[in-house]
């Protein structure tokens, strides 16, 4: 892809701590695709972000490659987008160090994800977990990013990135563009099918509440048939009182494009026995071609390698320019 100076830039990433879920697809990847035509598009597999929790190295490698395959299988055009693996572009870690000196202890302590993850991993509250949003800010700022398509849970991190950039610009002039998060209207927060008060998460592969993109049709149908609803029988959008049903409606709306009113009419008088499998089938229709294409790509390691090698080369050229500007601004002597 020729970098087009007139176009705005979108950047986003996912950390390969597990296999991709329907939540990551509807909250993020689907939206990346929609912006691809209009924007310079850069996406990475955020492997460096994954090691804030203890990960088996072989599993991390497998997840990272699988994630890249799923990016492509979801429709990202490898001619138009830059797709790369974060650890292949060393500028991410380097800019992260600099930005860390412009991120405040107080603001990092207030990050919801840090608080949640520290509560969940009380025996491993490491420095990486704390400075994670700084690395994320480096990811975004290296590429002169204008927009960051993410799910609702990442909005706070993008806002912090903006604050850090603003603070840095306040000292050194206009070095960084100020990015903003773009969150989808439907699907920004897909909830667990079994515990609809919790976000659908990729951390646990065997979780019956999480639909994985690599799940077979049978597994997807089983998960939807067992999805938690309520003791009424009517399909009505009411996220306060009918969390399970409203979540299923959100998923159905996101994959079919139907509005909540249309969905209510479609299932009027039909009950959950008809509604739940219908959502399952619509999800299978969306996920099946992606899964099949990802499996085909995963059998061709040489092709995937060519994509991430090319992506890292292109990303590095942009990242090196930004980092060198930053180093100069803060007063580091240029390497002879
Ligand atoms: P991660 O890996 O937790 O999630 C990846 C993307 O998927 C979205 N998402 C969801 N959206 C809706 N419903 C859900 N249940 C759901 N689960 C996940 C997330 O909002 C996110 O957009 N720190 C980031 C990864 C990252 C990044 C970046 C993102 C690293 N560097 C730079 C943007 C820009 C993360 O952990 O996302």
| pLDDT at residue 230, rounded to an integer | 95
Ligand 1 near 162 CB (within 6 A): no
| pLDDT at residue 6, rounded to an integer | 77
Q: How far apart are CA 137 and CA 131, in angstroms?
A: 10
Q: How far apart are CA 157 and CA 108, in angstroms?
A: 9
Q: What is the mean pLDDT of residues 229-240?
A: 94
For a ligand 1 pocket test, name from 11, 12, 14, 255 the mutation site with the most ligand atoms within 8 angstroms of its C-beta: 14
Of the pLDDT bands very low, low, confident and very high (cuts 50, 70, 90), residue 3 is low
Ligand 1 near 223 CB (within 6 A): no
Ligand 1 near 29 CB (within 6 A): no
Q: What is the mean pLDDT of residues 208-218?
A: 96
Token pair belonging to 91? 């500028």
Among candidates 79, 32, 140, which has minimal Cα distance to 311?
Answer: 79
Q: What is the mean pLDDT of residues 190-216?
A: 91
Ligand 1 near 243 CB (within 6 A): no
What is each CA distance from 222 to 189, 229, 230, 251, in whole angstroms? 22, 15, 18, 16
- Spacing of C-alpha 38 from chain mean position: 20
Ligand 1 near 154 CB (within 6 A): yes
pLDDT over threshold 70, residue 60: yes
| pLDDT at residue 121, rounded to an integer | 84
CA of 84 to the centre of ligand 1 (A): 16
pLDDT over threshold 90, residue 194: yes
pLDDT over threshold 80, residue 1: no
Residue 133 CA: nearest ligand 1 atom is 23
Q: What is the mean pLDDT of residues 166-190?
A: 97
Say if CB 34 and CB 184 are below 8 A apart.
Answer: no
Helix (H, G, I), strand (E, B) or coil at 6: coil
Q: How far apart are CA 20 and CA 24, in angstroms?
A: 6
Ligand 1 near 200 CB (within 6 A): yes
Residue 149 CA: nearest ligand 1 atom is 22
CA of 79 to the centre of ligand 1 (A): 24
Q: What is the mean pLDDT of residues 233-259?
A: 96
What is the set of active-site residues?
Answer: 117, 199, 202
Helix (H, G, I), strand (E, B) or coil at 10: strand
Query: Measuring from atom 5 of ligand 1, which residue has the nearest CA?
Result: 14
For a ligand 1 pocket test, name from 20, 26, 27 the mutation site with the most ligand atoms within 8 angstroms of its C-beta: 27
Among candidates 193, 185, 187, 196, which has minimal Cα distance to 243?
Answer: 196
Tens of pLDDT along 122-133? 999 999 999 999
Q: What is the mean pLDDT of residues 31-37?
A: 92
Ligand 1 near 150 CB (within 6 A): yes
Question: What is the share, in percent, of the chain residues with pLDDT greater than 90?
Answer: 94
- Spacing of C-alpha 115 from chain mean position: 19
| pLDDT at residue 120, rounded to an integer | 86
Q: What is the mean pLDDT of the chain?
A: 95
Query: Measuring from atom 34 of ligand 1, which residue has the nearest CA?
Result: 12
| pLDDT at residue 189, rounded to an integer | 96
Of the pLDDT bands very low, low, confident and very high (cuts 50, 70, 90), residue 203 is low
Token pair belonging to 181? 């998060």
CA of 187 to the centre of ligand 1 (A): 12
Ligand 1 near 192 CB (within 6 A): no
- Write down the pTM of the prediction: 0.96
For a ligand 1 pocket test, name from 11, 13, 130, 134 the mutation site with the most ligand atoms within 8 angstroms of its C-beta: 13
- Spacing of C-alpha 85 from chain mean position: 14
Which residues have a Cβ under 8 Å from the Cβ of 291 and sit 6 or more positions away?
73, 213, 214, 215, 216
Q: What is the mean pLDDT of residues 228-253?
A: 96
Tens of pLDDT along 65-121? 999 999 999 999 999 999 999 999 999 999 999 999 999 999 999 999 999 999 988
Tens of pLDDT along 300-327? 999 999 999 999 999 999 999 999 999 9
Tens of pLDDT along 249-281? 999 999 999 999 999 999 999 999 999 999 999
| pLDDT at residue 204, rounded to an integer | 65
């Amino acid at each position: 892809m020729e970098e087009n100076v007139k176009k705005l830039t979108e950047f986003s990433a996912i950390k390969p701590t597990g296999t991709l879920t329907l939540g990551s697809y509807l909250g993020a990847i689907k939206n990346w695709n929609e912006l691809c035509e209009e924007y310079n598009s850069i996406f990475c597999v955020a492997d460096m972000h994954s090691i804030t929790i203890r990960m088996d190295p072989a599993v991390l490698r497998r997840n990272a490659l699988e994630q890249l395959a799923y990016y492509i299988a979801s429709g990202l055009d490898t001619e138009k987008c830059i797709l790369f693996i974060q650890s292949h572009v060393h500028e991410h870690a380097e800019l992260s160090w600099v930005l860390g000196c412009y991120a405040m202890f107080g603001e990092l302590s207030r990050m919801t994800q840090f608080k949640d993850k520290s509560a969940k991993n009380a025996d491993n509250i490491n420095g990486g977990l704390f400075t994670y949003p700084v690395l994320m800010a480096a990811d975004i700022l290296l590429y002169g990013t204008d927009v960051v398509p993410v799910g609702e849970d990442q909005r706070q991190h993008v806002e912090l990135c903006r604050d850090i950039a603003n603070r840095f610009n306040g000292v050194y002039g206009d070095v960084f563009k100020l990015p903003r998060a773009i969150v989808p209207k439907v699907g920004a927060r897909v909830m667990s099918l079994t515990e609809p008060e919790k976000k659908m998460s990729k951390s646990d592969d065997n979780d019956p509440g999480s639909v994985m993109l690599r799940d077979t049709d049978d597994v997807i149908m089983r998960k939807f048939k067992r999805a938690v609803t309520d003791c009424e029988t009517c399909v009505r959008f009411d996220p306060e009182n009918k969390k399970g049903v409203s979540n299923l409606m959100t998923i159905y709306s996101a994959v079919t494009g139907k509005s909540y009113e249309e969905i209510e009419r479609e299932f009027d008088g039909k009950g959950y026995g008809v509604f739940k499998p219908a959502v399952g089938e619509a999800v299978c229709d969306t996920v099946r071609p992606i899964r099949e294409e990802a499996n085909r790509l995963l059998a061709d390691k040489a092709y995937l390698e060519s994509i991430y090698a090319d992506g890292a080369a292109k990303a590095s050229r942009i990242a090196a320019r930004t980092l060198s500007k930053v180093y100069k601004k803060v007063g580091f002597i240029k390497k002879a």
